[in-house]
């Protein structure tokens, strides 16, 4: 935004709406890097201003003011998104709407098993709020210490508990939204059943800030399990991992709450960059992290786990296994899994893929795609890990050793994507499982989504945001 009379008037209106302390501009000498740069440091934009409202009414006032001036808005929660959707573009004309000050828990209804909270609440804070009442908010991801519930819903985040509880969408019963016109839709409700017309809630979930601003949500809770046990299993192949998954499903039923797979190279990167972390079962081609949540208690849960792993060893799908003996050991195993994204950051940029496949197709997909990539880019390294129980892999392609990561990305990202996404399509999979579209996969969406679906999406966008001011250039 240049210092035109219009933009000066807009800044004055924004200051009046949220208080001068909560409007930050480059002209005032404010350092906006934390808002303008994404978590992976892959995108760096420039905002006209960062505006930080403290209430839904203030969000509505900001949206109305921007609409009146034809100024685009980029909503942002914890800025942990991985597809370049929550940072401004390079124009210097967009208003970055920082939602972290909307951080109140509005209520917890223990008998109805629901929690209502504002969009800027950090996910971990909400997990703690539920736990304080002996309840569980079953949404969990490695970014939970900084991502916000608004961002989780705007991206329909997945994470490590989807296998049992579904993704963010399935945990959301109601929403409060500020529309592109600056109106407030109060759709907060703790109802499990409500068939009263089109589902507006599900339209805003996963819309990545392109249809409106989520300001609060009512979420489903569950009773805390009596015991949570964790195990690590070494498998020789992805076929073995799938066999273990099916055995675990059969033996543990709804008690199976986590099933994560980690390829050897992904764990090698963790060992290289975080050498202090323990590495049980070193050298396994594939390591599976299993989690069981039990209503009975520690001892029966452990026993069931041990019997499962013995059966898997007998069946030949598991070579070796360890069961965590304590909460601390269990945390250490999860820490290993959660350190993979961080180890990748240390290693340098890679070509990230967040793909979804039928579980049954995963071994075939990996064998074919690994070979195609290695043939075309000899020495290329595959950081393959993810939520195998949901058929969701983070199938990332790292430059050959010694190659410059950013250069490899600049030169080959498009071609690598075509190989991987064509292979995904061949198996009836999706090129975006849980991270969303943002700026990163917008062209892919235009190229690969069914034309009728794209037409309907564009019609919805035009109906809800006729001026095209809500996070423009993202998704569509
Ligand atoms: P932001 O990054 O701030 O924003 C994300 C998008 O949502 C942007 O398009 C933004 O405009 C929009 N947005 C944000 N808040 C609102 C709002 N209130 N209203 C409307 N639009 C809004 N994702 C998974 O699904 N599963 C994982 O396991 C997972 N693991 C991760 C691990 C790490 C270490 C990191 C860094 C990220 C991971 N992610 C994962 C990415 C995930 O998308 C985010 O962590 C999270 O869901 C985004 O929340 P946020 O508050 O940081 O949103
Ligand atoms: Zn993930």
- Tell me what percent of the residues of the chain surpass a pLDDT of 90: 91
Mean predicted confidence (pLDDT) in 400-428: 94
Predicted pLDDT of residue 374: 97
386 lines ligand 1 (CB under 6 A): no
Q: Average pLDDT, stretch 241-258?
A: 96
At residue 5, the pLDDT reads 55
Q: Does position 2 have pLDDT exceeding 60, yes or no?
A: no
- The mean pLDDT of 159-180, rounded to a whole number, is 97
pLDDT at residue 6 tops 80: no
pLDDT (tens digit per residue) in 218-234: 999 999 999 999 999 99
pLDDT band at 1 (very low <50, low <70, confident <90, very high): low
369 has a pLDDT exceeding 80: yes
The three-state secondary structure class of 3 is coil
pLDDT at 405 over 90: no
Centre of ligand 1 from the C-alpha of residue 317, in Å: 35
Give the residue with greater pLDDT, 294 vs 89: 89
Asked whether 87 lines ligand 1 (CB < 6 A), one says: no
- Ligand 1, closest atom to CA 209? 21
Does position 59 have pLDDT exceeding 80, yes or no?
Answer: yes
pLDDT in tens, 415-466: 999 999 999 999 999 999 999 999 999 999 999 999 999 999 999 999 999 9
* Distance between CA atoms of residues 68 and 49, nearest Å: 16
pLDDT of residue 356: 97
DSSP β-ladder status, 381-387 and 392-398: antiparallel
**Between 423 and 325, the higher pLDDT residue:** 423
Q: What is the pLDDT of residue 298?
A: 83
Q: Work out which ligand 1 atom sits closest to the CA atom of 81.
A: 2
Q: Reduce the DSSP state of residue 186 to 3 states and report it.
A: strand
Contacts of 83 (CB under 8 A, 6+ apart): 432, 435, 436, 437, 438, 439, 440, 441
Confidence of residue 404 (pLDDT cuts 50, 70, 90): confident
pLDDT at 295 over 90: no
How remote is the CA of residue 120 from the centroid of ligand 1, in Å? 12
The minimum-distance atom of ligand 1 relative to the CA of 438 is 9
- Could you tell me which residues come within 8 angstroms of residue 398 by beta carbon, excluding any fewer than 6 positions away? 265, 344, 347, 348, 350, 351, 380, 381, 382, 383, 405
Spell out the alpha helix ranges (H) of 37-183: 56-69, 123-131, 149-154, 162-165
Q: What are phi and psi of 202, to 5 degrees?
A: -70, -20
Whether ligand 1 lies within 6 angstroms of the CB of 99 is answered as: yes
Site to probe by mutation for ligand 1, drawn from 143, 149, 339, 354 as the one with most ligand atoms within 8 Å of Cβ, is 143
pLDDT of residue 4: 65
Cα 280 to ligand 1 centroid, rounded to whole Å: 31
| Shortest-distance Cα residue to atom 13 of ligand 1 | 151
CA 57 – ligand 2 centroid, Å: 34
pLDDT band at 167; cut points 50, 70, 90: very high
Domains of the chain are 5-98 (3.30.43.10), 105-223 (3.30.465.10), 227-341 (3.30.70.2190), 348-436 (3.30.70.2740)
Categorize the per-residue pLDDT at 245 as very low, low, confident or very high, splitting at 50, 70 and 90.
Answer: very high
- Strands 73-76, 227-235: pairing is unpaired
| Residue 373: exposure state from Cβ atoms within 10 A (0-12, 13-18, ≥19) | buried
Mean pLDDT of the chain: 95
- The secondary structure of residue 461, as a DSSP letter, is H
Atom 27 (ligand 1) nearest CA: 159
How confident is the model over 45-66, as a mean pLDDT? Answer: 98
Q: Is 54 in the pocket of ligand 1 (CB under 6 A)?
A: no
For residue 434 and ligand 1, the question of a CB distance below 6 A is answered with yes
pLDDT at residue 3 tops 70: no
> Which tokens hold the place of 17?
């709406």
Mention every residue, 6+ apart, whose C-beta is less than 8 A from residue 461. 210, 211, 468, 476
DSSP summary character for residue 225 = P
Tell me, using a 6 A CB cutoff, whether residue 209 lines ligand 1.
yes
Angstrom distance (rounded) from CA 24 to CA 15: 9
b/e per residue 64-81 (b: at least 16 CB within 10 A): bbbbebebbbbbbbbbbb
**pLDDT at site 448:** 95
Q: Would you say residue 137 has pLDDT above 60?
A: yes
Ligand 1 contacts CB of residue 85 (under 6 A): yes
Quote the ligand 1 centre to 370 CA distance (angstroms).
29
Q: Cα(117) to centroid of ligand 2, in Å? A: 24
Residue of the CA atom closest to atom 53 of ligand 1: 151
pLDDT in tens, 184-211: 999 999 999 999 999 999 999 999 999 9
**From the CB of 126, is ligand 1 less than 6 Å away?**
no
User: Is the predicted pLDDT of residue 296 greater than 90, yes or no?
Assistant: no
Main-chain phi, psi angles of 73, to 5 degrees: -120, 135
CA of residue 435 to ligand 1 center, whole Å: 7
């Amino acid at each position: 935004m240049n210092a035109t009379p219009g933009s000066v008037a807009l800044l004055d209106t924004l200051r009046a709406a949220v208080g001068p302390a909560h409007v930050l501009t480059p002209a005032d000498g404010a350092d906006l890097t934390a808002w303008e740069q994404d978590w992976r440091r892959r995108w760096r934009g420039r905002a006209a201003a960062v505006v930080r409202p403290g209430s839904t009414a203030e969000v509505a006032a900001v949206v109305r003011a921007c609409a009146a001036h034809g100024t685009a808005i980029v909503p942002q929660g914890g800025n942990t998104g991985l597809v370049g959707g929550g940072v401004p573009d390079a124009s210097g004309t967009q208003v970055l709407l920082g939602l972290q000050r909307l951080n109140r828990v509005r209520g917890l209804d223990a008998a109805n098993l629901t929690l209502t909270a504002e969009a800027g609440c950090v996910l971990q804070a909400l997990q703690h709020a539920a736990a304080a009442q002996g309840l569980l908010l079953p949404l969990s991801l490695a970014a939970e210490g900084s991502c916000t519930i608004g961002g989780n819903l705007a991206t329909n985040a997945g994470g490590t508990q989807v296998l049992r509880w579904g993704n963010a969408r399935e945990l959301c019963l109601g929403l409060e939204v500020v529309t592109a016109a600056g109106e407030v839709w109060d759709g907060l409700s703790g109802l499990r059943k409500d068939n009263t017309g089109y589902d507006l809630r599900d339209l805003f979930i996963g819309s990545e800030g392109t249809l409106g601003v989520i300001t609060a949500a009512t979420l489903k809770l569950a009773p805390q399990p009596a015991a949570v046990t964790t195990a690590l299993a070494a498998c020789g192949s992805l076929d073995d991992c799938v066999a273990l998954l099916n055995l675990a499903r059969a033996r543990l039923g709804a008690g199976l709450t986590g099933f994560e797979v980690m390829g050897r190279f992904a764990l090698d990167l963790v060992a290289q960059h975080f050498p202090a972390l323990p590495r049980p079962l070193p050298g396994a081609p594939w390591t599976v992290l299993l989690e069981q949540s039990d209503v009975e208690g520690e001892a029966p849960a452990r026993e069931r786990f041990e019997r499962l792993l013995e059966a898997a060893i007998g069946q030949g799908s598991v070579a070796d296994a360890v069961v965590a003996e304590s909460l601390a050991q269990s945390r250490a195993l999860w820490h290993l899994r959660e350190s993979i994204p961080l180890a990748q950051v240390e290693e340098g940029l890679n070509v990230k893929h967040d793909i979804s496949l039928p579980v049954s197709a995963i071994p075939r997909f990996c064998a074919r795609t690994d070979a195609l990539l290695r043939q075309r880019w000899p020495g290329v390294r595959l950081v393959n890990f993810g939520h195998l129980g949901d058929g969701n892999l983070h199938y990332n392609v790292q430059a050959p050793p010694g190659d410059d990561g950013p250069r490899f990305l600049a030169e080959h990202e498009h071609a690598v994507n075509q190989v991987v996404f064509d292979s995904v399509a061949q198996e009836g999979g999706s090129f975006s499982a849980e991270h969303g579209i943002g700026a990163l996969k917008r062209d892919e969406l235009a190229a690969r989504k069914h034309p009728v679906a794209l037409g309907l999406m564009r019609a919805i966008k035009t109906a809800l945001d006729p001026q095209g001011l809500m996070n423009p250039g993202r998704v569509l």
